[in-house]
Amino acid sequence: MRKILLAGLVILMAACESENEGYQISGTVQNAPDGQKLIISELNDSNTQVVHIDTIEIKEGKFELDLPEKEQPTISFLTVEGTRGNVVYIAGNSPVEFTVYPDSIYSSEISGGPDNEVLSTYLKSVKGVSKKMGEHRNAAREAMMNKDSVALQNLQAFQEQLFEEDKQTKASLVESNPNSIVSVMILQDMLNTSAYSSAELKGFYEQLSPEVKELPLAKIVKTRLDKMSKTAVGSKAPEFSAPTPEGNELALNDALGKVTLVDFWASWCKPCRVENPNIVEVYKKYHDQGFNIIQVSLDRPGQKDKWIQAIEDDNLGAWNHVSNLMFWQDPVAVDYGIRAIPAAFLLDENGKIIAKDLRGDALGQKVGEVLNNSSSN
């Protein structure tokens, strides 16, 4: 009988433990009426969609909700119904407490678990940089109106210092928190700027713990890093072949000169169209010395006429053009990791990338430098 009772007690304890699995979120919402809803959602594994998880009503300015156990930390969101924006937090089986300010949602406070501590530190840094950048823009606008060149120079120096401090903060957070999903979020943000080299970002990624590298978001970052490495300065440019306006296939190898510009653009891209006259001038100056261009358009499906018209309007007909007319899904753009345009790669005669995203005078200077060095060797 005693053995039977003991077995029953073990089963009961296991059942209680099972019921307690999961995590709880709770907190207060400032000036919220009873019955107003909070929506809980999270980012899916492919980092492409926000998925609804649960909904809870606010009572007397408070809320409390038990949620299922997480197999791995997840980027999650708390949204106050009827307000814009949301509170980002990390769901990871630790209780999370919120102080939510619906009228200033990004000032809301979260606590609970080491991941959310790192996240709070990072978001505080982002807000601080954003505030300083806003002040900088206002001061620069005023200096331009007053034609104050000294102030503009000082503001330029301040901006460079701010960028450098932001880089150091991000790097420090990643290096100090190799076990946190927040480090992967920071790496993703770093990837979305041009402030870091491929080698720098790979170095940060390698510092992540093996467990964190197995997270879906980390695998997405790794894929992007691999693509970035393919188009890093010093790498052989990825081969490609795509349709010309006439419907023929043109390969990159068939367009190479002593120096070749691979330029990603589109008829709908205003910055691209602004840069085109400069490209025309560089081509006129250096084509006879071996400078070639192949422009890859990211025009939309069914809009071949707009692509061809832009080539004519901008006087770009002297060089090679290709496009699959697949917008951002163009396979050439995907292979080159293009996420914004204009984007450009300068290649040597062997197809090796020697510079990226040169515009204005910098493009002509680099092309001239390479061709002069080539002729003197």
Residue 338 lies in a domain: yes
Distance, in Å, from the CA atom of 65 to the CA atom of 145, rounded to the nearest integer, reads: 54
Question: Is residue 270 one of the residues assigned to a domain?
Answer: yes
Specify whether 37 is located in the same domain as 155.
no
Predicted confidence at residue 13, as pLDDT, reads 41
Whether residues 85 and 131 fall in one domain: no
254 shares a domain with 132: no
Q: What is the pLDDT of residue 4?
A: 41
**Which stretches of the chain score pLDDT less than 70?**
1-20, 375-377
Same-domain status, 252 and 338: yes
Are 37 and 107 found together in one domain? yes
28: three-class secondary structure by DSSP? strand
Residue with tokens 């085109």: 276
Is 13 part of any domain?
no
> What does the pLDDT read at residue 160?
87
Instruction: Confirm whether 264 is domain-assigned.
Output: yes
- 203 alpha carbon, distance to own chain's centre: 18
Cα gap 8→152, rounded to integer Å: 78
66 and 136 share one domain: no
pLDDT of residue 376: 62
Strand pairing partners for 254?
Answer: none
Residue 8 pLDDT: 43
Total tally of structural domains belonging to the chain: 3
End-of-domain residue from the set 197, 230, 263:
230
Say yes or no: 226 and 265 in one domain.
no
133, 178: one domain? yes
Q: What is the pLDDT of residue 341?
A: 95
| Predicted pLDDT of residue 38 | 96
Domain of 58, CATH number, reads 2.60.40.10
Residues 246 and 264 in one domain: yes
**C-alpha–C-alpha distance, residues 374 and 259, integer Å:** 10
Of 230, 264, 287, which residue sits at a domain end? 230
pLDDT score for 367: 96
Residue 262 sits in the same domain as residue 355:
yes
What SS3 state is found at 128? helix
- Which is it for strands 259-265 and 343-348: parallel, antiparallel or unpaired? antiparallel
Residues 141 and 59 in one domain: no
Instruction: Report if residue 3 sits inside a domain.
Output: no
Domain membership of residue 347 as a residue range: 241-376
- Per-residue pLDDT, 29: 96
For helices 198-206 and 216-230, the axis angle rounded to 10 degrees is 150
Same domain, 120 and 190: yes
